[in-house]
């Protein structure tokens, strides 16, 4: 009896030892990032705001069920006052008031969020995939491939994109597909350029040569050896691109070349609202606030992710001035060190 219990005890302690071994097991880059991000109150608040926005957008039909106000139905009797103007927040069951044709503004903002977030996420996803692939290929293959792809990237970046987007929307006719196409087309170039630059430096690392000596092909090297080293900057760029795409979509819709009424979009709600801003403040303020809060939250979240991924960088808003002041101090010791070790770099042991 005693012997069995002893064995059991030993087995248990062995388990415990394994458990603790598992606990000290290395944290991945993502786990570390998450730990740092969790302690960043601004980023966490921004993340919560983003999540709320997404949940509201997804749950828009549920609010229709609650308010019994479908997004495209006008209520000329309850939703407009005697002068034919929108009614204010809280009136007749319209939580945020109504718009120029007597539709529920709250519901329309929610449906606008669906479009805005969808366009923002989809165009960023397309732009990221395209930008990463093009940047990796340009950087890894070099030569003529690089020349063609990099010059094409530069050309896209140099384009006055609002003008081109307007022209395309006019020629092709405004539709969701055209908007997604146009915004995606301008999304990839910035990512491609950064990925190309990083690839150029990473491909000279010895572990890339090691992969080649194992017989790995170029695509395996690009996507399983180089890409993991690029995920941090790419993720940050992508997070920061979403709000840009949201604003781009709103701009096009505001100019009447994006989402067409009666489909709601923050841009076209704002365009309609400018006819009523003197009488109905809520008509302008609430869609504008939705746009502002969403883009601000995405931007702050992106900043937070950047800080968490690379603790050496500082928050953009606070950091810029400080960095400028610190720059000469940083330059001094490195300049002073080099005369002492003039050949340090050259003498690195290399056959």
User: Which residues contact other proteins (rule: CB under 8 A)?
Assistant: 18, 21, 25-26, 28-29, 205-207, 209-217, 220, 224-225, 228-229, 231, 347, 349-351
- DSSP single-letter state for residue 26: P
Angstrom distance (rounded) from CA 37 to CA 44 = 7
> In the complex with other proteins, which residue's Cβ is closer, 30 or 277?
30
In the complex, least distance from residue 224 CB atom to other proteins, rounded to whole angstroms: 8
Shortest separation between residue 25's beta carbon and other proteins, angstroms: 6
Give the nearest distance from C-beta 351 to other proteins in angstroms: 3
DSSP, collapsed to helix, strand or coil, labels residue 164 as helix
Nearer to other proteins, 26 or 339 (CB): 26
Residue closer to other proteins, measured from CB, 212 or 315: 212
**Whether the Cβ atoms of residue 301 and residue 120 lie closer than 8 Å to each other:** no
What CA–CA distance (Å, rounded) separates 102 from 262?
13
Q: Cβ of residue 170: shortest distance to other proteins, in angstroms? A: 39
* Separation between Cα atoms, residue 188 and residue 134, nearest integer Å: 9
Q: How far is the CB of 216 from other proteins (least distance, A)?
A: 5
Judge contact between 80 and 102, C-beta under 8 A. Answer: yes
- For other proteins, which is the closer residue by CB, 21 or 55? 21
Given the complex with other proteins, which of 225 and 307 has the nearer CB atom?
Answer: 225
**Least distance between other proteins and beta carbon 346 (Å):** 9
Rounded least distance, CB 237 to other proteins, Å: 17
> The tokens 């990839």 sit on which residue?
188
Euclidean distance between CA atoms 207 and 199, whole angstroms: 13
d(CA 117, CA 260): 17
In sequence order, which ranges of 214-315 are alpha helices (DSSP H)?
A: 218-220, 227-254, 266-273, 281-309
Q: 250 with 266: CB under 8 angstroms?
A: yes
* Residue closer to other proteins, measured from CB, 21 or 82: 21
203-237: b (≥16 Cβ within 10 Å) or e: beeeebeebeeeeeeeeebbeebbbeebebbbbbb
Nearer to other proteins, 9 or 207 (CB): 207
């Amino acid at each position: 009896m005693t012997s069995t219990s002893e064995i059991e005890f030993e087995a248990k302690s062995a388990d415990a030892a394994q458990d603790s071994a598992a606990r000290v097991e290395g944290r991945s880059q993502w786990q570390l990032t998450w730990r740092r991000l969790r302690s960043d109150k601004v980023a966490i608040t921004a993340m919560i705001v983003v999540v709320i926005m997404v949940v509201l957008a997804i749950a828009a039909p549920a609010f229709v069920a609650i308010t019994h106000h479908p997004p495209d139905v006008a209520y000329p009797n309850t939703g407009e006052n005697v002068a034919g103007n929108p009614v204010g927040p809280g009136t007749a069951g319209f939580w945020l008031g109504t718009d120029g044709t007597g539709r529920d503004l709250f519901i329309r903002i929610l449906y606008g969020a669906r479009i805005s977030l969808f366009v923002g996420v989809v165009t960023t996803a397309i732009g990221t995939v395209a930008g990463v692939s093009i940047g990796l290929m340009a950087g890894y293959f070099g030569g003529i491939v690089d020349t063609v792809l990099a010059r094409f990237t530069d050309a896209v970046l140099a384009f006055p994109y609002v003008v081109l987007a307007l022209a395309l929307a006019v020629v092709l006719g405004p539709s969701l597909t055209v908007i997604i196409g146009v915004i995606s087309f301008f999304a990839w170039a910035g990512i491609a350029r950064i990925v190309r630059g990083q690839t150029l430096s990473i491909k000279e690392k010895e572990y890339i040569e090691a992969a080649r000596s194992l017989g790995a092909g170029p695509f395996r090297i690009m996507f399983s050896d180089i890409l993991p080293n690029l995920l941090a900057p790419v993720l940050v760029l992508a997070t920061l691109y979403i709000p840009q795409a949201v604003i781009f979509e709103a701009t096009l819709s505001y100019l009447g070349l994006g989402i067409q009424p009666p489909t709601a979009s923050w841009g076209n709600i704002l365009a309609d609202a400018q006819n009523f801003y003197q009488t109905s403040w809520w008509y302008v303020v609430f869609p504008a606030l939705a746009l502002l809060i969403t883009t601000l939250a995405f931007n702050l979240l992106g900043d937070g992710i950047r800080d968490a991924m690379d603790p050496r960088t500082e928050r953009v808003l606070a950091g810029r001035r400080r960095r400028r002041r610190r720059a000469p101090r940083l330059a001094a010791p490195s300049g002073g060190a080099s005369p002492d070790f003039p050949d340090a770099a050259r003498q690195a042991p290399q056959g």
